[in-house]
Structure 1
Amino acid sequence: MDWSPEQLKLVEKYHSLAEIPEKERRYKCHTCHFVVDETPCPHCGETALEIMCPLDHCDCHHSIVESIDYCPLCGHAVCPECGSHDVVQISRVTGYLQDVAGWNAGKQQELKDRVRYTVA
């Protein structure tokens, strides 16, 4: 993913999502699927909201891509073509396809650290 200079400035300014001041935070509500500026969610009252990465634009129009990139700020998987964080990453590790969202942190880090080769 080629991040813009403005996006890279955000990465330099904040080294993690927790460093973003509360007045600048936006949140994702996974109950009603809204992006909101406050917690609890004003639409459904959900209190367990995820801090939204400022590099996420929540709109990926790609259906399938061959590779995956990772956000330099939050570390989540992103679409390598548009940078959206709303992607489902699947992997074939033990003979079947599986969504990696349910993997533990160690297994997800192992996936990020893998070296990928292109067969010419």
Structure 2
Amino acid sequence: MNWSPQQRTIVEKYQRLEDIPVEERRYKCHTCHFVVDEMPCPHCGETHLEIMCPLDHCSCHHTIVERIEYCPLCGRAVCPECGSHDVVQISRVTGYMQDVAGWNAGKQQELKDRVHYSAV
């Protein structure tokens, strides 16, 4: 992923999402699907909001990409072409295609550590 200079500065400044000061945080509300600047959500009142990674821009126009990269700040899968965290990663590890979001942390780390080869 070719991160912009602004994104590189964010990665150098913060090591984890929890290091971002509360006044600089943005949150994703999975109830009403808004990105908000405060808790609870001003639209629906939801109190369980996810801290939004500052490298995430929430919109990926790519439908299928061959590989996945991982965010250096939050560790989530990102689109290698645009950097959006709004991706669904699937794998055929267990013999059939499935979304890896339901895998436990160990299995997801195994997927990240896997060596990928090109048939070219």
Instruction: Answer whether TM exceeds 0.5 for this pair.
Output: yes
Q: Using the alignment, how far apart are the partners of 1:16 and 1:47 within structure 2? A: 21
Aligned to 1:12: 12
Q: Using the alignment, how far apart are the partners of 1:115 and 1:2 within structure 2? A: 20
Counterpart amino acid of 1:7? Answer: Q
Matches within 5 A, 1:1-120: 1-120=1-120
Q: Using the alignment, how far apart are the partners of 2:6 and 2:57 within structure 1? A: 14
1:21 shift after superposition? 0.1
Counterpart amino acid of 1:55? Answer: L
Q: Using the alignment, how far apart are the partners of 2:105 and 2:27 within structure 1? A: 22
Q: Using the alignment, how far apart are the partners of 1:91 and 1:45 within structure 2? A: 36
Q: Structure 2 unaligned runs (5+)?
A: none
1:5 shift after superposition? 1.4
SS in 2 for 1:23: helix
SS in 1 for 2:15: coil
Counterpart amino acid of 2:109? Answer: Q
Moved over 4 A (4+): none
1:89 shift after superposition? 0.4
Q: Using the alignment, how far apart are the partners of 1:20 and 1:47 within structure 2? A: 19
In angstroms, what is the RMSD of aligned CA positions? 0.6
1:93 shift after superposition? 0.9
Counterpart amino acid of 1:37? Answer: D
Q: Structure 1 unaligned runs (5+)?
A: none
Q: Using the alignment, how far apart are the partners of 2:24 and 2:46 within structure 1? A: 20
Deviations 1:50-88 (A, max 9, x none): 000000000100011110000011000000000000000
